[in-house]
Amino acid sequence: EKGTYDHFMLKEIDEQPLVMRKIIEAYENEQNQLVLPPEILSATTGCDRIYIIACGTSYHAGLVGKQLLEKLAQVSVEVHVASEFSYNMPLLSGKPLFIFISQSGETADSRSVLVKVKEMGFPALTLTNVPGSTLSREADYTLNLHAGPEIAVASTKAYTAQIAVLAILAATTAKAKGIQTDFDLVQELAIVANAMEVLTQQKETIEELAHAYLDTTRNAFFIGRSADYFVCLEGALKLKEISYIQAEGFAGGELKHGTIALIEEGTPVIALDTQAGVHGAIRGNVQEVVARGANALVVSMQGLELDEDAFVLPHVHELLTPLISVVPLQLLAYYAALHSDCDVDKPRNLAKSVTVE
C-alpha cells in the first residue's frame, strides 16, 4: 500500500493536494457552490456559541477553525482540549453547539465529553475521517473529512482536511447568515491545492534544511503570531512525536516573558511569517533570538519574504495559510526523524487511535 514510498507519512503528506480537491468535490453542488446539509447550517446559525472539543493535532486544527468561524461566520467559538473539558467544564452559554474534531472518531477523551454533552441535551457535530466511528454515531451530525485512510501515527493529511472542512463550515454558515464576503472558498482552496503541490516537490530543499538545522540538536523552537502561532504548535508536536527532539511552539509575543532564556548559541528557532498584520512584530522576534545566538530558519510567504529567508511559501489567502505553512513543517519533522533513524510511521509509546482516557 505504501507503493514507492518508504513511509506512509511521506505518502500521506504528498496526498494533501488531492485531499483538498476531493473535499471541494465532495462539498460542492453543480453550480460549484459549497453546500452543507440544512440541518447542520441550522445548528451553526442557531447557536449562540460553538465549543470545539478535540485532542492533539485535531485540537490544533480546532484553533485554526475558531479563527475561520469567528472571522467569516461571526460566531463566538471556544476551543478545548477534551481531557481538560471533562473535569473542568467552563460555564456554558445558553444555546451551545459542540463540534468534535477527530480523525479516528474513537478518541476516548473526546468520547467522554460527547457522552456528557448528550446527557445535557446539547447538539453535537462530529468532523471525522471515519464515518460510522463512535464519535460520528453518537453525535447528531457528521461531516466527513474525505482524507482517505491515515496509517502513519503522526497525523498530516487529516489535519489539513480538518482545516479545509472547518473553512467550508465557516463559509457556508456565513452565507446562511447573509454575511457578505468577497471570499470564494472553492477558488481559494484550489489555489491552496496547487500551492501544496509546489511544496511537496521541494522535498530536497527541506531535507537539506532539516539536515542543517535539526540533525544535531536536542531541542527546537517554533515561533509565530496569529494563525502562524497555531501552526507552530502543530509543527512542534510533529517534530516531537517522530524525531524525539524536544520542541516547543509559542506565540512570538510570549518570547520575552520567559522562553527567551532558553535561547543559546546554535538553538534552532523556526519562525513563520505569513500574516501581513504581524509581519513587523515577528521579524522583531527573529532579530531578538538571532542576537542571542539562535540558528533562525524563517518560513515566510511570498509578498512578506526577505532575502535571508530559508524557505518561501507560495501565496495563498491569508485565512488559509495554515494549510500550506504546515507542509514544510511536516516535512522537516519527517526528515529529522529519518536522519536519526527513528521509526517514522510508528513512533515509540504512541498509538494511532487513543482509546483510553
Catalytic residues: 352
In the complex, residue closest to ligand F6R by CB: 56
Least separation, in Å, of the C-beta of 44 and ligand F6R?
21
Which of 103, 134, 173, 200 is close enough to bind ligand F6R by CB under 6 A? 103
Instruction: Confirm if 274 and 195 have CB atoms less than 8 A apart.
Output: no
Query: Measured over all CA atoms, what is the biggest interatomic distance in the chain, rounded to whole angstroms?
Result: 57
Least separation, in Å, of the C-beta of 178 and ligand F6R?
33
Near ligand F6R by CB under 6 A, which window of 10-18, 104-112, 319-327, 328-336?
A: 104-112
Residue with Cβ nearer ligand F6R (99 or 310): 99
C-alpha cell of 270?
523556526
154 is an interface residue for ligand F6R by CB under 6 A? yes
160 is an interface residue for ligand F6R by CB under 6 A? no
Residue with Cβ nearer ligand F6R (133 or 275): 133
Least separation, in Å, of the C-beta of 155 and ligand F6R?
4
Residue with Cβ nearer ligand F6R (19 or 301): 19
The interface mask with ligand F6R, positions 109-128, x = CB under 6 A, is -x------------------
The interface mask with ligand F6R, positions 337-356, x = CB under 6 A, is ----------------xx--
Half-sphere exposure of 123 (CA within 13 A, CB side): 20
The full DSSP string for 16-62 is HHHHHHHHHHHHB-TTS-B---HHHHHHHHH-SEEEEEE-HHHHHHH
Name the residue among 357, 356, 354 with its Cα closest to residue 57.
354
- Which sign does the torsion angle of CA 206, 285, 305, 58 carry? positive
Which residues in 208-234 are b (16+ Cβ under 10 Å) and which e?
A: ebbeebbeebeebbbbbbbbbbbbbbb
104 is an interface residue for ligand F6R by CB under 6 A? yes
The strand ranges marked E within 38-195 are: 49-54, 77-81, 96-102, 124-128, 141-144
Q: Which amino acid is at 69?
A: L
243 is an interface residue for ligand F6R by CB under 6 A? no
Residue with Cβ nearer ligand F6R (185 or 231): 231
Least separation, in Å, of the C-beta of 352 and ligand F6R?
7
Element (H, E) at 296: strand 295-301
Which of 155, 160, 172, 243 is close enough to bind ligand F6R by CB under 6 A? 155
Helix (H, G, I), strand (E, B) or coil at 348: coil
Residue with Cβ nearer ligand F6R (104 or 267): 104
- 150: β partners: none
Least separation, in Å, of the C-beta of 353 and ligand F6R?
6
Least separation, in Å, of the C-beta of 229 and ligand F6R?
18
Q: How far apart are the first and last CA of the chain?
A: 31
Least separation, in Å, of the C-beta of 165 and ligand F6R?
13
The interface mask with ligand F6R, positions 277-316, x = CB under 6 A, is ----------------------------------------
Please report, as residue ranges, which positions from 20 to 79 form the binding site for ligand F6R (by CB under 6 A): 55-58
C-alpha cell of 91?
460555564
Helix (H, G, I), strand (E, B) or coil at 107: coil
What's the rounded Cα separation, in Å, for the pair 62 and 55?
A: 9
Site residues (CB under 6 A) for ligand F6R?
A: 55-58, 102-104, 107, 110, 154-155, 237, 241, 353-354
